[in-house]
Amino acid sequence: MGTWKKREAGLVEYVNGGIVNCVLCGKMIPRDIWVSIYNENNLNFCDVKCENIYIEYWIPKYSKKKL
């Protein structure tokens, strides 16, 4: 399970390439990010639902590495 992380949403962050997208659905995340750790990597999600779908569906179906 992950935790919520607040971002400083501002023009400078977007101009400098600070756009964050959800790993699963691709939605642009302007402020609050659900950050989860999987295989020692931080994964950014737009909400808990996307994290659950990623772990329960996407990884078992499409990942080359098995859990």
pLDDT of residue 30: 82
Domain segments of the chain as ranges: 3-62
Per residue in 55-67, pLDDT tens?
999 998 988 765 4
Residues of the chain with pLDDT under 50: 67
| 31 token code pair | 């402020």
What residues contact 67, with CB distance under 8 A and at least 6 apart? Answer: 59, 60
pLDDT of residue 66: 53
pLDDT of residue 15: 63
pLDDT of residue 45: 96
pLDDT of residue 14: 59
pLDDT of residue 67: 47
